[in-house]
Structure 1
Amino acid sequence: MVTQVFNKRDLDKVQNEIVSVINPTKKVNDLRRQVEFADTFQNRINLADALYEIGDYKSGIGEYEIALKGNYTSDPGVVKKLLEGYYQTNEYQKVIFCAEHISKRSDFKGSRSQFLYGLALEEEGKSEEAEKNLKPIDQRYSNYEERYTLAKFFLEKGKDADAKEILSEIVLESQHMSKPNRNRYRGVVNDVKKLLTSLS
């Protein structure tokens, strides 16, 4: 029988995680102090990530921007996070700017970043380009919320058949979900079913 030794460091880590859940601003304050102590790229990113976790996108964006210092080719992962933040704060031209810096990467196609790029293009009135960047998110057994948004996009464009196809696929896939996924995606699957019913 393997016994796991639960040392003080593990206990401290668990206690810190519990405190972070109960008081998320404590984690942000601790990370701010770390940046003051050592202003490194990683400390800035950790702080920005924590700010996003509590929904403070504006402050998080500021930290990511400082970490990159205008060098948008240095860290594609950070650019993706910036792109997400810009979308959440309705800064669509900046979403497009970030997307164009990472669009040649192989992991861009079919990613959430490309999807947000498509939504930003739509907001800027570039519907054809938007559709081209939204469609790759339609991958079976994944991206349920994004695919639901894509179906609504098709409906707005009068492409009812395309919308129904996506909605029907999601309903079909939902019948084969594992229990955790069924719980996780219950809300979006219910929305999909309602929308599909309203179309028939």
Structure 2
Amino acid sequence: MPILGLGLHVIVAILCAVHVWRTNQERSWLFVLFFFPLFGSIIYALAVIAPEMSRSRGGRRVVRSVRHSLDPGRELREAQAGFEHSATIANRIRLADALQGAGRHADAIAAYGEALQGVHRDDPDIQVKLARAQLDSGDAPAARALLEALIARQPDFKSPAGHLIYARALAACDERAKAREEFDALIGHFAGIEARVRYVGILESWGEQPAARALVEDSMRHIKHMPAGSRRLNDEWIRQLKHAATRLATPA
């Protein structure tokens, strides 16, 4: 076992050394890595790799995911502390986002509503977030009405997230024809596969298993052509798509 452990330490050190070489880090790191393979790799990961990850979109997502797994309430605590320290609009929105992420949709709705004041009363991005909280709280008609009013006031505003929320709200209101139209438009333009996976679930709830199965098959082909980075960003939706593929594999 000690030999195996030492081998793993050396392998990790080699991987870190490859990172040093490819990213043009100081060559002194190679000395640290190979003279102290275990502690050197840990120090390098903390000093170089972790900050590098935090600057990339995918890296930030990984860091957030790990932090959430280790301490699910951390973001909400920090958002509450930030807002108590300084009640700015930015901090209020961060708090609303954290409440939404924690599943406290009613509190999130109240916080977003409070953010829609003064010069921000017509802010379309805040309204989209409010509509999402309303939809997730079970109030699809309110989300639909809010987004339709936003579209009427600001017809040039484009929001893929808002478009998806609107399509989901229509489906929840049993406006099937309109929901189909919105989802058909979304699938061709929405980045990622969330829209596809949500539509699969909606088609299943309507009892349209053949249509859901066809969309799953098309989506499985679609993800094969996605760049690796995009697949990583969509890993949870890809898992859900694979579960749907299993569910729908055999016609009912």
- Judge same fold: TM > 0.5, yes or no: yes
What are the superposed Cα offsets for residues 163-196 of structure 1, whole Å, 9 maximum, x if unpaired? 4542221121233345562781442232342255
CA deviation digits over 1:95-120, x for unaligned, max 9?
11221133323424xx2322222222
What CA deviation, in whole Å up to 9, does each residue of 1:138-180 have, x standing for no partner?
12794424213324544637594x5454222112123334556
Evaluate the alpha carbon distance shift between residue 165 and residue 41 of structure 1 in structure 2; reply closer, same or farther with a 3 A threshold. Answer: same
CA offsets per residue over residues 43-78 of structure 1, 9 Å max, x none? 211211222232322222211111113988621111
Compared CA separation, residues 158 and 60, structure 1 to 2 (3 A): closer
2:242 is the counterpart of 1:190: yes
Q: Identity across aligned pairs (percent)?
A: 19
Q: Determine whether 1:89 maps to 2:141.
A: no
Does structure 2 conserve the Cα–Cα contact (< 8 Å) formed by 1:151 and 1:167?
A: yes
Structure 2: gaps (5+ residues) = 1-23, 27-46, 55-63
Count of residues in correspondence between the two structures: 188
Q: 1:173 to 1:31 in 2, by over 3 A?
A: closer
Match of 2:93 in 1: 45
Q: Classify 1:136/1:79 alpha carbon distance in 2 versus 1 (closer, same or farther; 3 Å).
A: same
Counterpart AA for 1:197: A
TM-score by length of 2: 0.59
Q: Which is further off, 117-126 or 85-94?
A: 117-126
TM-aligned CA distance change 1:138 to 1:43, over 3 Å: same
RMSD over aligned Cα, in angstroms? 3.7
Residue 80 in structure 1 maps to residue 132 in structure 2: no
- Give the counterpart of 2:80 among 8, 12, 32: 32
Q: Distance in 2 between matches of 1:133 and 1:77?
A: 19
Identify the match of residue 100 of structure 1 among 128, 131, 148. 148
Residue-by-residue CA offset, 1:107-137 (whole Å, 9 max, x unaligned) = 24xx232222222223223222222222212
Tell me, yes or no, if the aligned pair for 1:168 and 1:196 is still in contact at 8 Å.
Answer: no
Structure 1: 5+ residue runs without aligned partners? none
Is 1:113 aligned with 2:162? yes
Task: Quote the offset at 1:26 in angstroms.
Answer: 4.4
Whichever structure has more helix as a proportion of its residues is: 2
> 1:87 and 1:45 mapped to 2: Cα distance?
18
59-68 or 148-157, which moves further after superposition? Answer: 148-157
What amino acid is the match of 2:177?
A: E
Aligned 8 A contact 1:174 1:189 in 2: no
2:65 and 2:166 map into 1 onto residues whose CA distance is 36
Measured after TM superposition, the shift of residue 90 of structure 1 is: 0.7
- State TM-score, norm by structure 1: 0.71
